[in-house]
């Protein structure tokens, strides 16, 4: 059987081509203006690492600003949250990507604008790392997110370095404020190399899904960064990822995302899907016209908006069995589904109803597929309290959901 997912993606791609040649190629990096403007590819990566890709899937392009969330992730993993926050804030700037966006204390506003991304690049690796070591760690780290060795496009790198006056000025400014660790020239060089890494849409989808899977690459299985890092990165992507159209994006599409001037957009929906789209013509905010359209379609069709409430946990209770008089049937509370806070609360409310008659209780978790930390703690506490009330409690937990 041919997967309907691929057919659906083909259909989305076709429908997003309407409007022909709307948008402009980025031209401030001369080499970027040399690409074929009609290229268009879409990829999705699922939780188990399955990748669906349609269109110009072999087309490579430079990652540009889409590298920023991953360099931020590496800096957080290497220096800790406080260590990074000392140098770069997390407030949306509402400014263009290359503006002087600074807090009153001299910190760049966030790591998704150039001034913050250059500063962040220098924070990757241990404090004693040289600029070259930071850049090497960025390239190795982004490759781990993609699950393959990424290479620098030397032509794009040279082309951007020739025209990097503005980024250089931003770096000197941060250095003057005491927030940039490296020599500004080295930091801009390293950051420009980071932006010049070549990727395709499959890479983007896998990288995004790694962020959306708490830092575990779903294809290679490597834990690239800790889970807390991904929560931080996705939060900043949600508020600052789409240049000065971040608010529009969040309300229309509702997926933490980052775009780049090469025409790519990557989106990471926690626990669900990683998206990569490429089409080089940009709108007035610097976001790819077709990629924005495609993401709007995907989000609407597949119900991917982050703020759309998930199914309410109404089916937590599979059933309650009352004990019979001759003791053949014990009192049983049977649960099902996934135990997170809302589900475990429903379960606890059921345990509360167990009469204080010292009769044994069975908590049947056979149909419970998983529990998060809070769900597990709540259920264990329920069992403990039943025991304190004098009940003998048997927990049937063949899936080990209450284990650590
Ligand atoms: N390397 C580009 C720059 O710093 C990235 C810009 C972007 O993709 O937004 O100008």
Q: What is the pLDDT of residues 326-338, one digit of tens each?
A: 878 899 999 999 9
Average pLDDT over residues 308-327: 80
Which atom in ligand 1 lies closest to the alpha carbon of residue 260? 8
Closest CA relative to residue 285, chosen from 65, 46, 2, 63 = 65
Contacts of 359 (CB under 8 A, 6+ apart): 323, 330, 331, 391
Task: Give dist(CA 232, CA 217) in Å, integer.
Answer: 17
CA 358 – ligand 1 centroid, Å: 68
Of all protein residues, the one whose alpha carbon is nearest to atom 2 of ligand 1 is: 64
Provide residues with CB under 6 Å of ligand 1. 64-65, 97-98, 114, 160, 167, 195, 260-261
Catalytic residue among 35, 67, 68, 224: 68
3 annotated active-site: no
Task: Give dist(CA 99, CA 115) in Å, integer.
Answer: 7
Average pLDDT over residues 207-216: 98
pLDDT at 1 over 80: no
Q: What percent of the chain has pLDDT over 70?
A: 99
8 annotated active-site: no
Alpha carbon of 264 to those of 61, 142, 225, 344, 384: distances in Å?
8, 16, 23, 41, 52
Tens-place pLDDT, residues 272-281: 999 999 999 9
Average pLDDT over residues 195-208: 98
CA 178 – ligand 1 centroid, Å: 23
Tokens of 131: 């600029």
List of long-range contacts for 13-20, beta carbons under 8 Å, 24+ apart: 13/40, 13/41, 13/42, 13/54, 13/55, 13/294, 15/297, 16/40, 16/279, 16/290, 16/293, 16/294, 16/297, 17/290, 19/289, 19/293
CA 176 – ligand 1 centroid, Å: 22
261 annotated active-site: yes
Of the pLDDT bands very low, low, confident and very high (cuts 50, 70, 90), residue 30 is confident
Of the pLDDT bands very low, low, confident and very high (cuts 50, 70, 90), residue 69 is very high
Determine contact, residues 212/276, Cβ cutoff 8 Å: no
Average pLDDT over residues 214-221: 98
Q: At what angle do helices 201-212 and 227-240 cross, to 10 degrees?
A: 120
Q: Are strands 264-269 and 361-371 parallel, antiparallel or unpaired?
A: unpaired
Q: Are strands 393-396 and 361-371 parallel, antiparallel or unpaired?
A: parallel
28 annotated active-site: no
What would you report as the CA-atom Rg of the chain, rounded to the nearest whole angstrom?
Answer: 25
Of all protein residues, the one whose alpha carbon is nearest to atom 7 of ligand 1 is: 65
CB atoms within 10 A of CB 17: 15
Determine contact, residues 84/76, Cβ cutoff 8 Å: yes
CA 143 – ligand 1 centroid, Å: 19
Residue to substitute in 32, 164, 261, 264 for testing ligand 1 pocket (most ligand atoms within 8 angstroms of CB): 261
Whole-number pLDDT of residue 310 = 72
Residues in the chain: 404
pLDDT at 312 over 80: no
CA 47 – ligand 1 centroid, Å: 29
pLDDT at 43 over 90: yes
Name the more confident of 322 and 203.
203
Catalytic residue among 261, 265, 354, 393: 261
Q: Which helix (H) or strand (E) holds 138?
A: helix 131-146
243 annotated active-site: yes
Whole-number pLDDT of residue 313 = 56
Considering the chain, what is the average pLDDT of its residues? 94
Task: Give dist(CA 188, CA 330) in Å, integer.
Answer: 69
Q: Give the predicted TM-score (pTM) of the model.
A: 0.90
Whole-number pLDDT of residue 33 = 85
Chain mean position to CA 174: 27
pLDDT at 119 over 90: yes
Catalytic residue among 65, 101, 259, 299: 65
* Residue ranges of domains in the chain, CATH in brackets: 5-302 (3.40.710.10), 317-396 (3.30.750.24)
Which atom in ligand 1 lies closest to the alpha carbon of residue 195? 1
Of the pLDDT bands very low, low, confident and very high (cuts 50, 70, 90), residue 20 is low
Residue to substitute in 25, 65, 100 for testing ligand 1 pocket (most ligand atoms within 8 angstroms of CB): 65
Of the pLDDT bands very low, low, confident and very high (cuts 50, 70, 90), residue 243 is confident
CA 114 – ligand 1 centroid, Å: 7
Tens-place pLDDT, residues 342-374: 899 999 999 999 998 889 999 999 999 999 999
């Amino acid at each position: 059987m041919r997967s309907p997912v691929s057919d659906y993606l083909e259909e989305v791609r076709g429908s997003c081509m309407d409007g022909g040649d709307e948008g402009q190629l980025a031209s401030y990096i001369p080499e970027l203006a040399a690409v074929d403007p009609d290229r268009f590819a879409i990829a999705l990566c699922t939780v188990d690492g399955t990748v669906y890709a349609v269109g110009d899937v072999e087309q490579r392009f430079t990652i540009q600003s889409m590298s920023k969330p991953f360099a931020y992730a590496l800096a957080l993993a290497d220096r800790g949250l406080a260590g990074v926050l000392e140098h770069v804030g997390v407030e949306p700037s509402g400014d263009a990507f290359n503006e002087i966006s600074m807090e009153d204390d001299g910190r760049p506003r966030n790591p998704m604008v150039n001034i913050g991304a250059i500063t962040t690049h220098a924070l990757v690796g241990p404090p004693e790392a040289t600029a070259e070591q930071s850049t090497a760690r960025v390239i190795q780290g982004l490759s781990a997110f993609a699950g393959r060795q990424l290479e620098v496009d030397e032509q794009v790198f040279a082309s951007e370095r020739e025209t990097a006056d503005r980024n250089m000025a931003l770096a000197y400014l941060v250095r003057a404020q005491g927030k940039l660790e490296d020599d500004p020239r080295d930091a801009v060089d390293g950051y420009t190399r980071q932006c010049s890494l070549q990727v395709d849409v499959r890479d983007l989808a896998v990288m995004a899904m790694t962020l959306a899977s708490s830092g575990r690459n779903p294809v290679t299985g490597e834990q690239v960064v800790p889970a807390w890092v991904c929560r931080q990165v996705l939060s900043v992507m949600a508020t600052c990822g789409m240049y000065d159209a971040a608010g529009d994006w969040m309300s229309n599409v509702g997926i933490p995302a980052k775009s780049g001037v090469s025409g790519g957009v990557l989106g990471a929906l926690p626990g669900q899907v990683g998206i990569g789209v490429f089409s080089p013509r940009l709108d007035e905010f610097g976001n790819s016209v077709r990629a924005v359209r495609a993401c709007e379609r995907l989000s609407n069709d597949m119900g991917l908006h982050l703020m759309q409430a998930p199914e309410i946990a109404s089916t937590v209770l599979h059933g309650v069995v009352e004990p019979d008089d001759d003791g053949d049937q014990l009192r049983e509370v049977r649960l099902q589904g996934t135990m997170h806070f809302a589900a475990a609360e429903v379960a606890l409310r059921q345990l509360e109803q167990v009469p204080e008659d010292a009769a044994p209780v069975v908590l049947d978790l056979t149909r419970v597929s998983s529990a998060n930390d809070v769900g597990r703690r709540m259920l264990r506490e329920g069992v403990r309290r039943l025991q304190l009330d004098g009940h003998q409690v048997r927990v049937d937990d063949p899936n080990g959901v209450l284990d650590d």
